[in-house]
Amino acid sequence: MNTLNPNIPSTELSRLMTTAVSKLHDYQLILLTPQLLLRTFLDDQTAVAHQILRRLQKERGFDWDDLVRRVEQVTHLSKGRDAQFNFTDDFGKDTPLADETLVVLDEGLTIAQSREELKVNSGHALAAMAQKNVTTYAVLQRVGVTSEAVLELLAESTAEGMPIIFDYVDEAKKGQAQAVYQRETLLNELIGLLALANQRHVILVGPEGAGKRTLVYSLAQLLAEGKGPGDLRSVVEINEPALLENPLATMRVALRRSSGGILLVPGIERFFADRIRARLPENVTRELHKAMLGSEHVIIGTAVPGVYDRLNTDPIIRQNTQRLDVPAATKAEATAMLLFHQKRLEQEYEIEVTREGLETAVTLAGQYIKTIALPAAAVQLADRACALVRLVTQEHVANLPQVAADGTLSPDDVMVAASQMTKIPIAKLNADERGKYANMVEHLHQRIIGQDEAILAVSRAVKTARVGLRDPKRPIGSFLFLGPSGVGKTELAKALAEFMFGTEQAMLVLDMSEYQEEASVNRLIGSPPGYVGHEAGGQLTNFVRERPYTVVLFDEVEKAHERVFDVLLQVLEEGRLTDSQGRLATFSETVVIMTSNLGSKHMLVPVIGEHERELVLDEVHHFFRPEFLNRLDEIILFHQLSGDQLALILDLMLKKELQLAGAQGIELQLTDAAKQWLLAQNDEPQYGARPLRRIIARHLREPLADFLLREGGNRPAGSQTTITIDATDKGLDFQM
């Protein structure tokens, strides 16, 4: 007994055949017949065949229930003959097929392939069932369901058997072209390369979202209008799901359809794999390589800059292609592109889209969205904003007071969407930056006790950068924080993140003690191709690409391997890193902070004088390379905290404890004696404020929990309770 090739039926048809198998017992059948399969189509509203039959019912006016009754009758009567083929259902069970079912599948496959589709879906099967060589023909013919009528409607189906290729010239001729914008200079350059007598293949190189594909769509529009190179009649792109499903068959169909025209290959590096690991089967890549060596096709591929550099080492690329750089769109170009989308946005989201809203999308996307370039960043933001407006207008979302339920996209709505995408608070997006930074020192002092010199130095550097007096490529600020443990180095980094970007979470902390080996640098930028972790990218580059407005803290930087410092040099000088995937991470909106304990023994004093400073800096200059230190904005020294300063820090920490208790309906009142007692428990003042957290946890929080469990068990839910905390000879005393 043979088994049906599992690649013939689509996932949809396989599911329907599995359902039909489950009904065999109801009809006292042994074989899976086309009648039973048709009966299953009638019941399943999601099936392509069902949707086509419903369309035909509207057009021809036949009685649906009558059709169901007739198919039910013939299903009971038609037992079929064994085709000597089994169907393996979705549960792994084998069921024999009737000979006519095999005919339906064979004819369905012929129909699918004639439409350049890879697998048989229920629509193809229905068209085969309506042919004269199958007994289902009679019952379908009776209600006017013909194979031709099914095929006509099948062209409109969107279920699995979608076309293998898209021909954008055909779509343009039918008036179905995608919204495009024409960057005339680039378009003319592309046309010039395509007009060459040889080496006509082109690789479009640019960042993600720059409009590489859109440039080709613009070209297709010109070809549809009879402009451009006269010998090119089509622009064909492979359907990605089809490529994943059956790569070889898809590639061959695409090459056949693009003969005498252009084949667009986004991410062309997939077909020029590393020596260690192939991205696609070798026979698939070989087909594309042969096409690039011939003259029947013109291949236009796309790649991001870092990937192209590796790709260009392949002789086929180097000797047979031309490079065309596609930079990110300008603000004016992106606005023009977005205006093309205005009508689509209004239709899809059923709202009014204002020009001002779209212009705001371009401005905010260009300024704050760094993961992809313009124009794609602006298009994504506009779609996100339109979706929010629609949800609020239709009352699906009730907790967005910033978005008016007026069905109109405004600049404020775009700002809310930008805040959601970038995690930057709306207040920052809409803030008066100059006024905000004028009060930077005072704001930082609310969290940082002492360390006046450090706060002033950081504020000075950041404010200078914010008014534009800096290299726009480099980080906003780059600092080396030096000092003993517990003096506020990490706390100042957190305070900066909260002040500049609205939340402490806008901070990446990298412990450099974990980066002491040479290979550990791969964790920052990603492993080379062929190595474990290549696909994951790097911890540093991934984070900054996704959240470019952030503080990056390299803790205990002196412990890092020398190769890590090579990475840091590029960040500090160029403000960018390219990861192992060829993706660019920009650091122009980051603050880079490195902490170190070098020279801390000279800073164990309340005030750092010139002598101590000289000793510290001497150690620093002996350890770090000059080119590294020269790229820093400031080297900042943190002195040891005095007893009075520790008392103020304790007060800040206790405020948080009071807030936590208040959220539980408990008012804590600590006497001065209790605070002094807590301070007295710090027998390690050389570690600054760090021991205070442990002291609060051990001597306040834990005893408070015990007290509440012991004394507060009868406290009514939701009631307010006041607990006074005083100090005795034995420790803290809790009174309710």
Tens-digit pLDDT profile for residues 552-580 = 999 999 999 988 998 999 999 888 888 87
Distance CA 457, CA 441 (A): 10
Task: Using pLDDT thresholds of 50, 70 and 90, give the confidence band for residue 491.
Answer: confident
Residue 105 has pLDDT above 90, yes or no: yes
Distance of alpha carbon 250 from its chain centroid, rounded?
Answer: 27
Quick one: pLDDT at residue 158? 39
- Is the pLDDT at 115 greater than 80? The verdict is no
pLDDT band at 239 (very low <50, low <70, confident <90, very high): confident
- Opening angle at CA 612, ends 609 and 618, nearest 5: 135
- Record the pTM: 0.59
What's the one-letter identity of residue 455? I
Pairwise CA distance, residues 91 & 104, whole Å: 23
DSSP three-state, residue 578: strand
Rounded to an integer, the average pLDDT of 415-431 is 72
Closest Cα to residue 576, out of 346, 370, 271, 357?
A: 370
What is the spatial distance between Cα 351 and Cα 393, in angstroms, rounded to a whole number? 9
User: What token pair was written down for 28?
Assistant: 């006292």
Q: How confident is the model at residue 325 (pLDDT cuts 50, 70, 90)?
A: very high
Q: What is the pLDDT of residue 159?
A: 42
> Is-contact 85 49, C-beta < 8 A?
no
Average pLDDT of span 367-386 = 87
Q: Is the pLDDT of residue 718 over 60?
A: no
**Predicted local confidence at residue 276, as pLDDT:** 41
What is the pLDDT averaged over residues 298-309?
Answer: 88
| pLDDT of res. 530 | 54
Asked if residue 88 has pLDDT above 50, the reply is: yes
What pLDDT does 200 receive? 86
H-helix or E-strand spanning residue 389: helix 376-393
Task: Encode pLDDT of 191-228 as tens digits.
Answer: 889 888 788 899 999 988 898 988 998 888 888 888 87
- Of 295-304, 311-320, 377-386, 394-403, least confident by mean pLDDT is 394-403
Lowest mean pLDDT segment, chosen from 152-161, 368-377, 549-558: 152-161
What pLDDT does 499 receive?
Answer: 84
Q: Which two tokens stand for residue 442?
A: 């005072």
- Residues 6+ away with beta carbon under 8 Å from 668: 657, 658, 661, 662, 704, 723, 725
Q: What is the mean pLDDT of the chain?
A: 83
- pLDDT of res. 399: 65
- The radius of gyration computed from the CA coordinates of the chain, to the nearest angstrom, equals 34
Mean pLDDT score, 419-439: 66
pLDDT of residue 160 exceeding 60, the answer is: no
Q: Higher model confidence: residue 15 or residue 681?
A: 15
Following CA atoms 445, 448, 451, 454 in sequence, which dihedral angle do they give, to the nearest 10 degrees? -80
Average pLDDT on 658-664 reads 77
Do 134 and 145 contact (CB within 8 A), yes or no?
no
Task: Tell me what pLDDT residue 393 has.
Answer: 83
Distances (CA, A) of 279 to 212, 252, 302, 529: 22, 18, 16, 11
Task: Please report where in the chains the tokens 């059948």 appear, as a residue.
Answer: 29
Cα separation, 9 vs 161, in Å, equals 10
Between 726 and 136, residue with greater pLDDT:
136
For the ranges 446-455, 551-560, 706-715, 721-730, the lowest mean pLDDT is seen at: 706-715
Reference 500, options 585, 422, 424, 595; nearest CA is: 424
Which amino acid, one-letter code, is at 56? L
Task: Provide mean pLDDT across the span 496-514.
Answer: 86
Residue 134: what are its φ and ψ, rounded to 5°? -125, 135
Strands 591-596 and 551-555, sheet pairing: parallel
Q: What are phi and psi of 338, to 5 degrees?
A: -65, -35
In the chain, what percentage of residues exceed pLDDT 90? 23
**Which of left, alpha, beta for 395 (phi over 0: left; psi -120 to 50: alpha)?**
left
Q: Is pLDDT above 80 for 676?
A: yes
- Residues 325 and 206: beta-carbon distance below 8 Å: yes
- How far apart (Å, rounded) are the C-alpha atoms in residues 658 and 663? 9
Query: Interhelix angle for 48-60 vs 147-154, to 10°?
Result: 110
Instruction: Provide CB contacts within 8 A for 282, sequence distance 6+.
Output: none
Amino acid at the residue 1: M
User: Which span out of 413-422, 424-433, 440-449 was modeled with the highest average pLDDT?
Assistant: 413-422
Q: What is the mean pLDDT of residues 239-246?
A: 76
| Nearest residue to 586 (alpha-carbon basis) of 553, 543, 527, 649 | 543
Higher pLDDT, residue 430 or 365: 365
Q: Quickly tell me which residue has 């009649």 as its tokens.
A: 233
pLDDT score for 636: 87
- If pLDDT is split at 50, 70 and 90, which confidence band does 704 have? confident
Is residue 427's pLDDT more than 60?
Answer: no
Residue 362: per-residue pLDDT = 92
pLDDT at 426: 63
